[in-house]
Structure 1
């Protein structure tokens, strides 16, 4: 059990610290300004990373986790666990605050209209943007906690499943790091504060590993494990369709996002195949 926890922690750190990579993209891009608030859109639009990551997550959810649960514990039980995961995360999402970042164009309009107290207005604007960064960090941390749990449960099943989950999570955590660091960097003018907050939001993932490692016994019933992995598939599917895919449509456009989704699904399907033939299905940690 100790080796499983260590490997799961290592895999979750890879995913969690990807938020730090997103923060580095921000702090290395130059001095923050109102114009810089458009950087997030530019990065996501150019890379299609959200659409690609959504394809990875959907492929894991349906072709790996839910599929294996249905094959192992039966169609009815597998689907019940899968939709239980969806319902669980749908309830969790209702308690996650939605960030409200004021667009750069709003600040430009106020400046053009000659509002008095320009410095005070800028200070107020920076406070609002900083608050949005804090709210975003809280929301992302709450998302990363169950993702860390998913990596641990996947690692219990085998290294193959844990690697797949860690890779997909790491990719979609990069734009999340940008989303946290950008408003904080603009508001505080501090590269360290932006990097620190983005990194801390990623550390919720290994925390999820620690929490779930002490919630479940070392001799977890195989049927329960398969059911929990099916529920993880439901969580991942809900997260993808409820949040990642709409954002991909907004930033990259519907056609480009759909292409990126299918490319991501194909890429993950290929990786599932190659990992399956290179690593034993029941490879223990």
Structure 2
């Protein structure tokens, strides 16, 4: 098997598996969603904010610098603003505004994670070809990292009432950039740190905007304030534990 094919399959497998596992957990909660959906959304928002603050942001800055990361974040925010306008007007048309919101949130989060998976897959491809251990370490980190992101993506889709077929479909779509990145990385073997930081920044900006506006916004509407703050703090704490003890 060629190195390019192996790297591509590794990227697809690792990227898709993490998302699928998170989705299985999200759908597994099933019957409890209506009663605790606000608490779950608030906790998920906390986890995402923690991962952005303590993992993705420092990783991006150390890779290509603060300026490149900042440029990417601004690009990501602008991208999501434009996509939200598009989805509000065109894509999601249902007879239930709440269902439309959850579907839109899932799609936008999936876009942000997909953008992030491209440079990570690129770095993994380089590592697998040139430095086996580094490549495998990145692959492990991607698998573990995509688990909470898969949960966050599939949770609003589950809340919208979509069937479990959403799990393999979403996992496949989000995994494609990881496979593409791995193929390019293993083929080129050269990475521009500043370009990588811009990609990371775009992912940070997109994921932050969707989480702030869609996920946390709905948690505020569905949860009493006395329960909202502890739920977000719990999510932040879980994210910190996940980042420092697992990744």
Question: What's the TM-score once normalised by structure 1's chain length?
Answer: 0.63
Task: Indicate which of 19, 43, 48 corresponds to 1:52.
Answer: 43
Do the aligned partners of 1:59 and 1:268 also contact (CA within 8 Å) in 2?
yes
Q: Which residue of 2 aligns with 1:235?
A: 206
2:106 maps to 1:140: yes
Task: Report the RMSD for the aligned CA atoms in angstroms.
Answer: 3.4
* Deviations, residues 79-131 of structure 1 (Å, cap 9, x unaligned): 1222222212222222224565549xxxxxxxxxxxxxxxxxxxxxxxxx9xx
Q: Which residue of 1 aligns with 2:235?
A: 264
Question: What's the TM-score once normalised by structure 2's chain length?
Answer: 0.71
Q: Distance in 2 between matches of 1:40 and 1:58?
A: 22
Q: Distance in 1 between matches of 2:181 and 2:85?
A: 22
- State the secondary structure of the residue aligned to 2:86: coil
Q: Which runs of 4+ in 1 moved over 6 A?
A: none
Q: Which has the larger radius of gyration?
A: 1
Task: Give the drift of 1:241.
Answer: 0.6
Gaps of at least 5 residues in structure 2 are 125-137
Task: Give the drift of 1:199.
Answer: 4.3
Task: Give the drift of 1:213.
Answer: 5.4
Q: Which residue of 2 aligns with 1:282?
A: none
Q: Which residue of 1 aligns with 2:130?
A: none
Task: Indicate which of 106, 115, 121 corresponds to 1:149.
Answer: 115
Q: How does 1:136-285 map to 2 (within 5 A)?
A: 140-141=106-107, 143-155=109-121, 156=123, 158-159=138-139, 161-163=141-143, 165-180=145-160, 182=161, 194-197=163-166, 199-210=168-179, 218-275=189-246
Task: Give the drift of 1:260.
Answer: 1.9
Q: Distance in 2 between matches of 1:160 and 1:16?
A: 13
Change (3 A) 1:3 1:224: farther
Task: Indicate which of 7, 11, 14 corresponds to 1:11.
Answer: 14
Task: Give the drift of 1:66.
Answer: 2.2
Task: Give the drift of 1:169.
Answer: 0.6
Q: Distance in 2 between matches of 1:24 and 1:55?
A: 20
Task: Give the drift of 1:14.
Answer: 3.1
Change (3 A) 1:24 1:75: closer
Going by fraction, where is helix more abundant, 1 or 2?
2
Do the aligned partners of 2:23 and 2:153 also contact (CA within 8 Å) in 1?
yes
Task: Give the drift of 1:43.
Answer: 4.1
Gaps of at least 5 residues in structure 1 are 30-38, 104-128, 185-193, 277-285
Q: Distance in 1 between matches of 2:170 and 2:95?
A: 18
Task: Give the drift of 1:162.
Answer: 2.1
- State the secondary structure of the residue aligned to 1:220: coil
